[in-house]
């Protein structure tokens, strides 16, 4: 009797283990797909969307490290392209000026540098961005 009970319990645990293994595989595939989607940021509008998503998580009370982790992006990725999003948020008209001059398919790093240069060249924009960071309307990143 005890042997039959143990065998039934073993079978139940084996089925449960198989189910959990399948669940792990499904979640791993989903995670890999989402990571791929996040890493394929090639356009400035995608940079802005990602930045705003992280900003919203941060505004809801998370610290910055948690916001990056919850969104699935590392801090340096955001920092490298933050100037694009900060300029779009703080001075959209200035960003449009820069964007109109961009060549189709220009590297994001070049666009980010142009945005950073525009921010540094205009003290009013730089001050506005700093003020927005103080009131959580921009991420409080230490960018050059």
pLDDT digits (tens, 9 = 90+) for 33-77: 777 666 678 899 999 999 999 999 999 988 999 999 998 888 998
pTM here? 0.70
Query: Which pLDDT value is given to residue 80?
Result: 93
Domain that includes residue 31, residue range:
1-40
Residue 144 clears pLDDT 60, i.e. is over it: no
33 & 87 share domain: no
Q: Within this chain, do residues 14 and 51 fall inside the same structural domain, yes or no?
A: no
Compute the distance between CA of residue 10 and CA of residue 4 in angstroms, rounded to an integer. 10
Residues 17, 81 within the same domain: no
Cα-based distances in Å from 46 to 7, 70, 85, 110, 139: 55, 18, 10, 15, 16
Helix residue ranges, H only, 40-143: 44-59, 64-71, 75-90, 92-101, 108-121, 123-134
Say if residue 4's pLDDT is above 80: yes
Same domain, residue pair 36 and 49: no
Number of domains in the chain: 2
Burial 51-61 (b: 16+ CB within 10 A, else e): beebbebbeee
Evaluate if residue 78 carries a pLDDT over 80.
yes
Q: Quick one: what percent of the chain has pLDDT higher than 90?
A: 64
């Amino acid at each position: 009797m005890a042997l039959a009970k143990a065998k039934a319990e073993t079978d139940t645990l084996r089925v449960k283990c198989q189910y959990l293994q399948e669940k792990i595989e499904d979640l791993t595939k989903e995670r890999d797909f989402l990571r791929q989607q996040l890493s394929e940021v090639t356009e400035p509008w995608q940079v802005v969307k990602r930045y705003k998503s992280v900003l919203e998580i941060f505004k809801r009370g998370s610290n910055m490290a948690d916001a990056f982790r919850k969104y699935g992006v590392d801090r340096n990725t955001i920092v490298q392209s933050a100037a694009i999003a900060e300029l779009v948020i703080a001075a959209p008209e200035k960003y449009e000026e820069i964007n109109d001059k961009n060549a189709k398919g220009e590297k994001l790093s070049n666009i980010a540098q142009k945005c950073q240069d525009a921010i540094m060249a205009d003290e009013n924009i730089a001050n506005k961005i700093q003020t927005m960071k103080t009131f959580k309307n921009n991420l409080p990143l230490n960018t050059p």
